[in-house]
């Protein structure tokens, strides 16, 4: 019976493709399990104070790294508030600036740019998205950081905080500028796609009612595409939270929480988010308690990116009704 | 009279010039232009800066000599090993990612049963796309340090498994390329008209042979685009290399089998070379870093140019 043999091989094909596809789910489950199990001692020793403040986080990391050999005496005490704060600060500020820039840029590309300009701007956006993060980091650390350190921070300003932190130029300001530059191209692409998907009739209707082109874009098209802007922000936030290499290069790599009350100095203060902490300390992973602490930070990143993926899916749902799939 | 009123309408529409807009709208309009021009200026200065530094520091000597230990930049050699590392790792990651990505996309679009599993897989891929590469790298280290994966890397004298090798890094890199390959394959498959499938069935072909002989060839430009995007992402990633490839100076082979020894060994890529030669890494050699970054940028831009050509050609074919 060749018919049933064919049917059987059909079923086999479907099953094996399904199994192949399910590998992704296995990977995610394994990732969550492995990382959480490895990270557990660090969380359970500190409790909620893992996220708290107190002491110098860099000194605490050094103490954990130099734990005695006896497992019973391993040091786990860590208060990661400065790192958590740095991660949140960098992500929120650069995504906030990124939303404004990328919405304007997307409107420009979709509506205002003449075709000749459009032919230049679209590849430029793709180019900026394709540049590897390490190149951004290299330009940051070799060009922007020395420039800021030598020309923008006065000696008096350096002296004013010298007992708390050294201002070298590697700072919140430089990190935010480069991070924003890195995430805007992704946001522009998503928002521009959504703007293009808004039905032309709606635009023409508003134009016919006498609204000018900016008003039409702002009140009709951008408003319709709001879910896409949220989705873009979420995806950009995931990128910003996970960016380790570039930030390890330009953020100063000091476990310090910049204080907004310092005025302008705030912008020049160094900091270090979770991802950069992992990059900086990758050498010490084989020291058991230290490795567990670093994996705890990875668990936080993993949790945050899971939540952001969920948020992104929810944010994109309203767009389905316009037939936009991102 | 209707003929005379029509030019009138056209004329009034033409009068909606920016100058007649309210001030706030004009400011917004010019802000759009400023952002657009600003992005172009940033990109241009970035490219020109890298071109300047690259032409200044890149030499054939640098490309064709291996890194060496030295006290200053004239002695530390070139970046042949990292360049080879980039090629090996990119190739390896893509080879693993293509069957995974294409297979998943085919299953989602053509079968997709049970529906709940299909939805879970789709969101799973989105989760992988959103996972920071540093987390993928550090998870890979944890996973491949297990005894059963000893064949992929090396086993130290004490019995501990290193977990760092081209193979392990390649597996994790494939998950960076997977979402891109999956998405563009899915788009391409969804664009294949239903008649094409029906025609194939009408000729007596089974579903599986329709997929192999009709759908995948039709979707090939989409698969290629996704692959090129994925290759660019792999070539540009640093975190996984630093953590999972070891970022050693040379390609350190493990064992004696000709190809396998390289794959099981650790090494470095252009990205980790740039990182290690920047002031943030150990060997502070900015000239070498600029030179390697320039070569890396050229590779990535060439890939991008390829994608542009590809998408232009496919658009012509479809429309």
User: Interface pTM (ipTM) of the complex?
Assistant: 0.90
**Residue B149: pLDDT band by 50, 70, 90 thresholds?**
confident
| Unique residue bearing structure tokens 């590809």 | B310
- Looking at residue A250, its pLDDT comes to 92
**Considering CB atoms only, which of B28, B121, B238 is closest to A214?**
B28
Q: Provide, as residue numbers in chain A, all residues whose Cβ is less than 8 Å from the Cβ of B289.
A: 138, 142
pLDDT at B140: 92
With beta carbons less than 8 A apart as the criterion, state whether A107 and A229 touch. no
Over residues A221-229, mean pLDDT: 90
The pLDDT tens digits of the residues spanning B243-267 come to 888 877 777 777 777 778 888 888 8
Cβ contact, residue pair A298, B135, below 8 Å: yes
Give CA separation, A145 vs A51, A152, B14, B164, B193, in Å: 30, 10, 49, 33, 54
Q: A28, B293: Cβ pair inside 8 Å? A: no
| Residues in chain B within 8 Å Cβ distance of A24 | 100, 104, 121, 124-125, 128, 178
As a whole number, mean pLDDT of residues B1-23 equals 60
Q: Which of B108, B129, B131 lies closest to A302 in CB terms?
A: B131
> Of A290 and A315, which is predicted with more confidence?
A290
**Which CA distances in Å does B160 have to B14, B138, B148, B153, B155?**
76, 17, 11, 11, 6
Identify the CA nearest to A190 among candidates A129, A116, A240, A127.
Answer: A129
- pLDDT-derived band at B139 (thresholds 50, 70, 90) equals very high
Interface test with chain B among A110, A132, A311, A326, by most B beta carbons within 10 Å: A132
**According to the model, what pLDDT value does residue A324 have?**
58
pLDDT: which is higher, A230 or B256: A230
Average pLDDT for chain A = 89
User: Rounded to a whole number, what is the distance in Å from the CA of B129 to chain A's nearest CA?
Assistant: 9
Q: Do A132 and B271 touch (CB under 8 A)?
A: yes
Compare A233 and B310 and report the one with higher pLDDT.
A233
- Nearest chain B CA: its distance from A260 CA (Å): 26
The residue assigned the tokens 């390649």 is B170
Element (H, E) at B182: helix B166-191
Alpha-carbon distance A90 to B122, whole Å?
30
Whether B28 sits inside 8 A of A298 (CB atoms) is no
CA distance A115 to chain B (A): 13
Alpha-carbon distance A229 to A215, whole Å? 18
At residue A27, the 3 state secondary structure works out as helix
Which range is least confidently modeled, A33-37, A64-68, B36-40, B94-98?
A: A64-68
pTM of the model: 0.90
In percent, the amount of chain B with pLDDT more than 70 equals 90
Answer for the pair B265, B165: CB distance below 8 angstroms, yes or no: yes
Cα A213 from Cα A75, distance rounded (Å): 63
Minimal Cα–Cα distance from A287 to chain B, Å?
Answer: 13
Name the band, by pLDDT with cuts 50, 70 and 90, for residue B319: very low
CB contact under 8 A, B32 and A181: no
The pLDDT value recorded for residue A322 is 63
Domain extents in chain A? 16-322
| Homologous superfamily in CATH for domain B66-318 | MetI-like (1.10.3720.10)
Q: What is the Cα–Cα distance from A157 to A150, expressed in whole angstroms?
A: 12
Residue A61 CA to residue A255 CA, distance in Å, equals 10
Domain ranges in chain B are 17-57, 66-318
Q: What pLDDT does B8 receive?
A: 47
What's the CA gap between A12 and A3, in Å, rounded?
14
**Taking CB atoms and an 8 Å cut-off, how many pairs form between chains A and B?**
238
Q: Inter-chain contact A282–B242, Cβ cutoff 8 Å?
A: yes
| CATH T-level assignment (fold) for domain A16-322 | MetI-like fold (1.10.3720)
* pLDDT score, position B1: 44
Name residues whose C-beta falls within 8 Å of residue A228's C-beta, 6 or more positions apart in sequence.
A190, A191, A193, A194, A195, A316, A319, A324, A326
Nearest Cα residue in chain A from B14: A212
């Amino acid at each position: 019976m060749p018919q049933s043999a064919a049917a059987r091989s059909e079923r086999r094909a479907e099953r094996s493709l399904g199994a192949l596809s399910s590998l992704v789910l296995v990977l995610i489950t394994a990732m969550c399990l492995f990382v959480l199990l490895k990270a557990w001692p660090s969380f359970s020793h500190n409790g909620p104070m893992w996220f708290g403040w107190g002491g110098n986080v860099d000194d605490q990391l050094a103490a954990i790294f130099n734990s005695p050999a006896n497992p019973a005496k391993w040091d786990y005490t860590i208060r990661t508030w400065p790192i958590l704060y740095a991660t949140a600060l960098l992500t929120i500020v650069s995504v906030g600036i990124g939303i404004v820039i990328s919405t304007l840029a997307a409107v420009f590309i979709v509506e205002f740019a003449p075709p000749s300009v459009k032919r230049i701007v679209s590849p430029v956006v793709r180019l900026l998205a394709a540049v590897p993060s390490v190149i951004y980091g290299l330009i940051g650390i070799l060009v922007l950081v020395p420039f800021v350190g030598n020309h923008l921070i006065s000696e008096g300003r350096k002296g004013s905080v010298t007992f708390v932190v050294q201002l070298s130029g590697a700072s919140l300001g430089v990190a935010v500028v480069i991070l924003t530059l890195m995430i805007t191209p992704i946001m522009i692409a998503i928002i521009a796609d959504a703007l293009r998907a808004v039905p032309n009739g709606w635009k023409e209707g508003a134009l016919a009612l006498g609204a000018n082109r900016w008003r039409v874009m702002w009140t009709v098209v951008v408003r319709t595409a709001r879910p896409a802007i949220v989705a873009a922000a979420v995806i950009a936030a995931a990128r910003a939270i996970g960016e380790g290499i570039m930030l390890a290069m330009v953020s100063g790599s000091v476990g310090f929480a910049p204080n907004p009350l310092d005025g302008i100095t705030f912008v020049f203060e160094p900091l270090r988010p979770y991802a950069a902490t992992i990059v900086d300390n990758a050498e010490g992973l084989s020291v058991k308690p230290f490795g567990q602490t670093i994996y705890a930070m990875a668990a936080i990143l993993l949790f945050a990116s899971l939540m952001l993926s969920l948020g992104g899916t929810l944010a994109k749902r309203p767009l389905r009704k316009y037939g936009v799939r991102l | 009279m209707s003929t005379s009123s029509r030019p009138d309408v056209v004329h009034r529409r033409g009068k909606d010039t920016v100058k007649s807009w309210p001030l706030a709208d004009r400011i917004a309009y010019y802000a759009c232009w400023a952002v657009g021009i600003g992005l172009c200026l940033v990109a241009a200065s970035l490219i020109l800066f890298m071109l300047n530094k690259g032409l200044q520091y890149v030499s054939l000597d640098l490309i064709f000599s291996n890194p060496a230990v030295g006290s200053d930049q004239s002695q530390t050699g070139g970046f042949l090993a990292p360049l080879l590392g980039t090629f090996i790792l990119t190739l390896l990651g893509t080879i693993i990612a293509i069957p995974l990505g294409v297979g998943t996309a085919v299953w989602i679009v053509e079968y997709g049963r049970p529906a709940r599993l299909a939805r879970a897989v789709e969101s799973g891929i989105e989760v992988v796309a959103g996972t920071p590469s540093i987390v993928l790298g550090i998870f890979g280290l944890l996973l491949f340090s297990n005894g059963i994966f000893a064949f992929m890397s090396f086993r130290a004298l004490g019995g501990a498994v290193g977990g760092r090798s081209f193979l392990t890094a390649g597996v994790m890199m494939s998950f960076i390329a997977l979402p891109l390959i999956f998405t563009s394959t899915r788009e391409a498959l969804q664009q294949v008209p239903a008649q094409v499938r029906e025609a194939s069935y009408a000729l007596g072909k089974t579903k599986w042979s329709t997929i192999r002989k009709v759908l995948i060839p039709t979707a090939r430009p989409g698969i290629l685009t996704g692959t090129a995007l994925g290759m660019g992402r792999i070539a540009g990633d640093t975190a996984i290399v630093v953590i999972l490839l070891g970022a050693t100076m040379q390609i350190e082979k493990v064992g004696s089998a000709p190809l396998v020894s390289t794959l099981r060994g650790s090494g470095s890529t252009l990205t980790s070379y740039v990182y290690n030669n920047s002031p943030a890494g150990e060997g502070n050699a900015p000239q070498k870093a600029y030179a390697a970054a320039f070569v890396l940028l050229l590779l990535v831009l060439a890939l991008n140019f390829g994608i542009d050509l590809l998408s232009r050609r496919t658009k012509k074919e479809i429309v």
